[in-house]
A and B are shown apart, each in its own frame.
Chain A
Amino acid sequence: MNLIFLILVPLLTALAILAMKTAQQVRVVALTGSVVQIILAFILLVSFRNEQLTGNTAQMLFEQQYDWFPAWHISFHLGVDGISVAMILLTAFVVIAGVLVSWNVTRMTKEFYFLLILLSLGAYGFFISLDLFILFFFLEVAVIPKYLLIGIWGSGKKEYAANKLALMLMGGSALVLVGILGLYFTGNEDSFDLMKLAASNIPVETQRICFPLLFVGFGVFGALFPFHTWVPDGHSSAPTAGSMFLAGISMKLGGYGCLRVATFLMPEGAAEYANIIIVLSSIAILYGAFATMMQKDLKYINAYSSVSHCGFVLLGIGMLTKTAMTGAVMQMVSHGLMTALFFAVIGMIYERTHTRQVNEMGGLLRVMPFVISVLFIVGLCSLGLPGLSGFVAEMTVFMGSWQHPDMFHRVATIAACMSIVVTAVYILRAIGQVGMGPLKAGLEVLTDATWNERLAAIILIAGIIAIGLAPFWLNDLIRPATQVIMDKINIGPLP
């Protein structure tokens, strides 16, 4: 499998979109492009599993390296391990669903799809790059499309939200930049190459400085408390597909960066700062959950619950056990699918009722059974019902966390577990209010989902159920990769 296709396909799709004349052509091209993306992602998955099963134990598969700015020792170094494959799969799912639910965007359709595809290009590039420079490049490529998507097609306080998001994310990437430069100049030879840096032992003093820079920098993307404040504003103001991409893909860039760059390269630094990460992510989990209880707007509900759910990702990383880390990656995939679906459903409801306020809706199950059934499924996934992906991921994180026998970790784990109860409260309340009860006046004429919405929802639900019912394939995919990261970390024996 040639990884360069993962960059080329979105790039060509984006260029083709620019050349199209009518909105219908644009949609068809975008859909074709995203179908090719998902096919590529599956080919990648299959060929990756084949390599693994045939006993290829190399850490990174399908590596490719081209010189790019040789004067700075920058090379276009690509490669994937299990974590990247999982992330790429997630991206492909969210992209196709996002393209489908935006079928009715009429305002500047061409620009809208161009930016969506550009965003996906940034995400794919980020997940497959093994050179810190191009990783950073793709990380920043993804920022401006988000800004424009929110600012132009958004609703509510869109300009404020777009600005806040762009500035906070750029702030995060400024920290990442300084951290990367720190690593560049302390390596044995000046190099941005991830594998070379991993092989060279970075001095502990450098790790002490660079780990927090990189972790916080990526943490801003992944809603690390207290840098999560762009999440509610950004998500709630974005157009439907924008929210899906933001929560489903873009926040995962942060988690992936924390894991792949910060923790993998600087194990001693990770061990030193692990407790702080655990405290911050536990706060995020609980704070996010309680803040969600107070929300009346469906988008805000999902945005704050995203803060809470993404806290599990960072918690899993901070626990520094193999199981918890695997759980963190699973949570990234699971939350990506789930939250994208959630935002898609909210978009469908909003398009029909023109409100997102929970208390202005009621009894919608009768007029749009499909949409509300999807809302139930995704709500149940969010609160961690067994059989759906949320349960598997969160359970794995808790199992990994529980391996620590000491008081501190136990308290943090229990605190995080408590959030599940809170989640159940706000999810059940919201979906109950929206779907059940007497039908509110004026809502009788609403129609059910159209073909594109149905297709998008089914694709994402298929992903959620595939993880929920058969988690082992994802687990097998991720575990060898987390093993490599864990091998470098020495936190003493666990029982």
Chain B
Amino acid sequence: MNDLLILMKSELLLTVIIFILLFIKIGKGIKNEILLPVIQVLFLINFIAGFFLNADGSLFDGMFYTNSLIAFQKNILNLGVYLISLLFANWLTKNEHMPEFFMLMLSALLGMFFMISSGNLLIFFLSLELATIPVAAMVNFDLQKKTSAEAAMKMILNSAFSSGILLFGISVFYGVTGTIRFTELPSMLNNSPILIMVFVFLFTAFAFKLSIVPFHLWTADVYEGSPFAATSFLSVISKGSVAFIFMATLYKVFQPMHEVWYNMVMLLSIITMVVGNLFALRQQNIKRFLAFSSIAQVGFILVGITGNSTAGTSSVVYFILIYTFSNLAAFAVAAAISWQTGKERIDDYKGLYKTNPFLSWILALALFSLAGIPPTAGFFGKLFLITAGAAKGNYMFITIAALNMIVSLYYYLKVVRAVFMDENEQPIARISIQRSTKLGLIICGAGIVFTGLLSWIYDYIQNLF
């Protein structure tokens, strides 16, 4: 019993928060303005609690396992959720269904926690579903907007499709090996064609979730249609969690087949970076722009994953931490502008610096971090991913990755140019942001600057395993 309490601590805590929200919703309505700070504090407590009482161990006959690395990964997601509750305060307080939004978000997060901790293909599948379906509801949260419903529809169809593929892969996997446990699977694996097919099916399912090219087609539309809070959850938390479990699966389960998957992951990484970058070049809508840029970022994460080493693991975790700060900051600035003016085109941002210097600097920091420019943390994140990938000695691959950084710099600079350099007769008026949003942006900004410069953060991740 004690084991259960400690090992499943983060999951239990989340469940408690979900129930608190549920009771609040059932009981007399509390005004959003009062409720939101309470929720923020709950999330903060949840995040801080994530650092304490972490133990290694497994439960339910190995179905669920956890260790300090997994606890840290969960805590990155906790941090992301906390930041979302801060950053999108404008939109959240005006939404009459705010408690539901958080309940859905936390349910999805719970699914992700179980997914990261899963030690068994079935529990993995179940938790993946739990992590997906509430997100579709979140995407649909702008009830009066058609595009939001359309996005949710696209997302749910795509998820159903990928779940089908995943389930098919799992059943064949079980048929071949006779086991669904992650601990027993590796010894059964070899490079036989049927196992390669199984891997392809599983990889496809992951690719859908991570929006790896050629399974990325839903991304831009869904991002564009959904409310900013849902978009950023989808692009940061959802992607981050899948990247964690994808890496764990590759490194632990499919380790005997690493020569097979190395080539596949490498090829898709190149395609993903190139396609994501090329499409991002032409985007005018900031959400679509960030969607394609996040596709390109996933390509970079794959570079680190091909490293197949502890350095690969720690650099991916590190990068996702940085990516959380940077992408959330970029989305938050775009959301604040869109909330007040309804403008989402990059051209509308011209002259933003004159009227909103604070937002402009945060946006610039976030974009520089995404582009990998020092002294922002993105530089360290990308460099370590590339270094981890380069350990395999495939320099062609690394050169392509490095050249892709330049292409991505071009379109990130396009936004910076609009904000800082272009003249505009009627720039966006001064944006009023809530105090909590400001706090969130400052946290993100500090995270972008200091996660890289303070090397002990990386050391901390490195020493987790």
Interface assignment of A158: CB less than 8 Å from any CB of chain B: yes
Q: Which residues of B contact A171 (CB under 8 A)?
A: 403, 406
Asked if residues B405 and A170 are in contact (CB atoms below 8 Å), the reply is yes
Residues of B near A166 (CB, < 8 A) are 409, 413
Q: Which residues of B contact A174 (CB under 8 A)?
A: 399, 402-403, 405-406
Q: How far is the CA of A152 from the CA of B373 in the complex (A)?
A: 19
Given the known A-B contacts A72-B387, A163-B410, are A151 and B311 also in contact in the complex, defined by CB atoms under 8 Å? no
Main secondary structure of the interface of B (DSSP, over half): helix
Are A143 and B373 within 8 A (Cβ)?
A: yes
CB–CB A141/B374 < 8 A? yes
Say yes or no for A63: interface residue by CB 8 A criterion: no
Which residues on the B side are within 8 Å of A472 (C-beta)? Answer: none
Which residues of B lie under 8 Å from residue A147 when comparing CB positions?
413
A274 contacts which chain B residues (CB < 8 A)? none
Assembly CA distance A166 to B368 (angstroms): 12
Give the interface segment out of B164-172, B197-205, B378-386: B378-386
Is B265 an interface position by the 8 A CB rule? Answer: no
Complex Cα–Cα for A148 and B373 (A): 13
Contact B455 A68 (CB under 8 A): yes
Question: B256 in the interface, Cβ–Cβ < 8 Å?
Answer: no
Interface residues of B in 383-409 (CB under 8 A from A): 383-384, 386-387, 390-391, 393, 395, 398-399, 402-403, 405-406, 409
By the criterion CB–CB under 8 Å, are B386 and A141 in contact? no
On chain B, the residues within 8 Å of A209 by CB distance are 395
In the bound complex, how far is the Cα of B409 from the Cα of A143, in angstroms? 12
Most chain A CB within a 10 A radius of its CB, from B314, B383, B391? B383
Nearest Cβ in chain B — how far from A219, in angstroms?
A: 16
Instruction: Tell me the residues in window 185-232 of chain A with beta carbons closer than 8 Å to chain B beta carbons.
Output: 185, 209
Q: Does B462 contact A (CB under 8 A)?
A: yes
Return chain A residues, CB-CB under 8 Å to B462: 71
Alpha-carbon gap, A67 to B462, bound state (A) = 15
**B459 at interface, CB cutoff 8 A:** yes
Q: B420 at the A/B interface (Cβ < 8 Å)? A: yes
Are B421 and A158 in contact, with the CB atoms below 8 A?
A: yes
The reply on A137 being an interface residue by CB < 8 A is yes
Q: Is there an interface contact between B402 and A151, defined as CB atoms closer than 8 Å?
A: no
Contact with B along A131-155 (1 / 0, CB 8 A): 0010001101101100110011000
Given A71-B311, A159-B421, A177-B383: A144 and B406 interface contact (C-beta under 8 Å): no
B421 touches A151 (CB 8 A): yes
Q: Which residues of A contact B413 (CB under 8 A)?
A: 147, 163, 166
Q: Does A442 contact B (CB under 8 A)?
A: no
Q: Which of B373, B383, B393, B455 contacts A185 (CB 8 A)?
A: B393
**Contact between B421 and A167 (Cβ–Cβ < 8 Å)?**
no
Residue of B nearest to A172 (CB): B406
Q: Is A414 an interface residue (CB 8 A)?
A: no
Closest residue of A by beta carbon distance from B354? A108
Q: Quick check: B399 and A178 within 8 Å, CB to CB?
A: yes
B375 at the interface (CB under 8 A from A): yes
A404 to B368, CA, bound (A): 47
Pairwise interchain contact B409-A167, C-beta atoms closer than 8 A: yes
Task: Give how many A-B residue pairs fall within 8 Å (CB-CB).
Answer: 82
Chain B nearest CB from A145 CB (Å) reads 11
Considering the chains assembled together, what is the distance between the CA atoms of A152 and B421 in angstroms? 5
Considering the chains assembled together, what is the distance between the CA atoms of A71 and B413 in angstroms?
32
A347 to B395 alpha-carbon distance, docked (Å)? 45
Chain B interface residue count, Cβ-Cβ cutoff 8 angstroms: 34
Q: Assess whether B279 is interfacial by the CB under 8 Å rule.
A: no
Q: How far is the CA of A151 from the CA of B368 in the complex (A)?
A: 16
Which residues of the other chain, A, contact B215 by a CB distance below 8 angstroms? Answer: none
User: A46 to chain B: closest CB distance in Å?
Assistant: 31
B458 near A: Cβ within 8 Å?
A: yes
In contact, A148 and B379 (Cβ under 8 angstroms): no
Measured between beta carbons, the chain B residues less than 8 angstroms from A175 are: 402
Q: Does A181 contact B (CB under 8 A)?
A: yes
Is A426's CB within 8 Å of the partner chain B?
Answer: no
Residues of B whose CB lies within 8 Å of any CB of A are 311, 314, 368, 373-375, 379-380, 383-384, 386-387, 390-391, 393, 395, 398-399, 402-403, 405-406, 409-410, 413, 416-417, 420-422, 455, 458-459, 462
| Interface residues of A, Cβ cutoff 8 Å to B | 67-72, 74, 133, 137-138, 140-141, 143-144, 147-148, 151-152, 158-159, 162-163, 166-167, 170-171, 174-175, 177-178, 181-182, 184-185, 209
- Ordered by A's residue number, 23 sampled pairs between the chains whose C-beta atoms are within 8 Å are A69-B458, A70-B455, A70-B459, A74-B455, A137-B375, A138-B374, A148-B416, A159-B422, A162-B417, A163-B410, A163-B413, A166-B409, A167-B406, A167-B409, A170-B406, A174-B399, A177-B386, A177-B402, A178-B398, A178-B399, A181-B386, A182-B395, A184-B390
Additional 14 contacts, C-beta under 8 A, given A181-B386, A184-B390 = A69-B380, A69-B455, A69-B459, A71-B459, A133-B383, A147-B413, A148-B416, A148-B420, A166-B413, A174-B402, A177-B386, A178-B398, A181-B395, A185-B390
